[in-house]
Amino acid sequence: MSNVLVLNSGSSSLKFQILDPKAGAEVGPQVVGLVEQIGETKGHIVLKHEGEKYELTAEIPDHTVGLTLALELMETNGFGLSNIEIAAVGHRVVHGGTVFSGPQLVDDAALEKMRELIPLAPLHNPANIAGIEVAREMLPEVPHVAVFDTGFFQSMPAEAATYAINKDVADKYSVRRYGFHGTSHEFISQEVPALLGKPAAEVNQIVLHLGNGASASAVRGGKAIDTSMGMTPLAGLVMGTRSGDIDAGVVFHLSRQAGMSVDEIDTLLNHKSGVKGLCGFNDFRDLHAHREAGDAAAELAYRVYIHQLRHYIGAYMIELGRVDAITFTAGVGENDDYVRADALAELENFGIFIDPERNKVRGGARLISTDESPVKVFVVPTNEELAIARFALSLVV
């Protein structure tokens, strides 16, 4: 019995899957569930099981009601937890601070530590914790495991994690680089050595997680040594709606000259910037359609995106010294062959030779560099739920 219930609890939504990590990625989850509009009068539940869809609209005042109704809906349709035995529940938690460097079996003490970390992720951690509390109450016999978005990056050396700001202030307020998307970066960096036919300990790699949120990491011998996201997920690469790296002085300028409040600047940089802020849309399919139609703003947005991406690839090549593999993943990384080609164009002097035909092929994990390319370039689909399920199971069996 190795089924894992993976829960991703947001402030007004609950996403979950039941999957068996031992069955492999191809088998897919047995149940996929989404509870939306929690806290509103008309909440909505959608479940998928064996190709069928099950829906329910009801008042869902809180996460407890949401999960209860979802589990009941599963039960009445014959695929409830009385039929599917669960070995563990894996919970996605955004911020583990410097406390959690890997998956953690949840007990009261661990939950208390997670509560103490709320100031580091005030929008996300409370919802993650609410999900854990509800699930522990409903499934008290099953072990619960928290998997942190930041965990993988706790191995970064101090020089990569430290911001050059006043040490006393930084220490007092826990200001440092934590990194995010760690579950995806760890999952991908564990898949790549098998594709290379080498032990993970011998592989130096760059992982490019390019979705609506985007981040890059440098991984040496299975351990992260650097990443582009920072104290928050705002830093690093240009993203769908987030600016990525900017001069912190921009914040003071907007405050003083535009009279914007901290919350307004937060919204501007997190939700109204990035590719969307530059040209009006954040889906890369729209971006390319507008570029082809001669839209100058879309063209500039794309160039800024690629410029910043190459900036990080270059930095990580130097940090790693020798790079065995560069891997693209997430929505843009897995689907957008223009981005992949432009990110690594004209880097033959650095041992990177993309095969244009291979780059156009769609599908699962695949090589897109030439056979002779010293640096291998891959596309590997990310699967954060499978990664969380693997981590959860690894702690309980």
Is 319 a binding residue for ligand AMP by CB under 6 A? The answer is: no
Stretch that binds ligand AMP, among 14-22, 217-225, 325-333, 367-375 (CB under 6 A): 325-333
Which one of 107, 108, 149, 171 is the catalytic residue? 149
β-pairing verdict for 4-9 and 88-93? parallel
Q: How far is CA 124 from the centre of its chain?
A: 13
Q: Per CB under 6 A, does 336 bind ligand AMP?
A: yes
Binding of ligand AMP at residue 215 (CB under 6 A)? Answer: no
Q: Is 274 in the site for ligand AMP (CB under 6 A)?
A: no
Minimum separation from the CB atom of position 329 to ligand AMP (A): 8
Question: Do residues 188 and 156 touch, judged by C-beta distance below 8 A?
Answer: no
For the record, the structure tokens of 354 come out as 């993309």
Residue 2 CB, shortest distance to ligand AMP, in Å, is 27
- By CB neighbour count within 10 A (0-12 exposed, 13-18 middle, 19+ buried), where does 200 fall? middle
Check if the beta carbon of residue 280 is closer than 8 Å to that of residue 208: no
Contact 180, 148 (CB under 8 A): no
| Interface mask toward ligand AMP for 277-296; x: CB under 6 A | -----xxxx-----------
Among 64, 155, 335, 370, indicate the residue that binds ligand AMP (CB under 6 A): 335
211 counts as binding ligand AMP under rule CB under 6 A = yes
Helix ranges (DSSP H) in the chain: 63-76, 108-116, 125-138, 158-161, 167-172, 182-196, 249-257, 262-271, 274-279, 284-292, 296-320, 330-335, 337-343, 356-360, 384-396
- Of 126, 114, 191, nearest to 150 by C-alpha is 114
Q: Closer CB to ligand AMP, residue 12 or residue 212? A: 212
Shortest Cβ 327–ligand AMP spacing (Å): 14
Q: Which of residues 139-178 bind ligand AMP (CB under 6 A)?
A: none
Residue of 301, 330, 354, 377 interacting with ligand AMP (CB under 6 A):
330
Only one of the segments 156-164, 257-265, 331-339, 372-380 lies at the binding site for ligand AMP (rule: CB under 6 A); that segment is 331-339
Task: Round to whole Å and give the CA distance between 215 and 309.
Answer: 9
Contact status, residue 231 vs residue 94, Cβ threshold 8 Å: no
* Shortest Å distance, C-beta 58 to ligand AMP: 27
Identify which of residues 209 and 220 has a Cβ nearer to ligand AMP in the complex: 209
Count helices and strands (H / E) in the chain.
15, 14
> Judged by CB, which is closer to ligand AMP: 20, or 336?
336
- Taking the least distance from each CB to ligand AMP, the nearer of 144 and 242 is 242
Active site residue 149: yes
**Contact flag: residue 309 with ligand AMP (CB under 6 A):** no
Q: Is 240 in the site for ligand AMP (CB under 6 A)?
A: yes
d(CA 325, CA 374): 9
Distance CA 134, CA 140 (A): 10
Q: Is 100 an interacting residue with respect to ligand AMP (CB under 6 A)?
A: no
Binding stretches for ligand AMP (CB under 6 A): 211-212, 240, 282-285, 330-332, 335-336
Catalytic site positions: 149
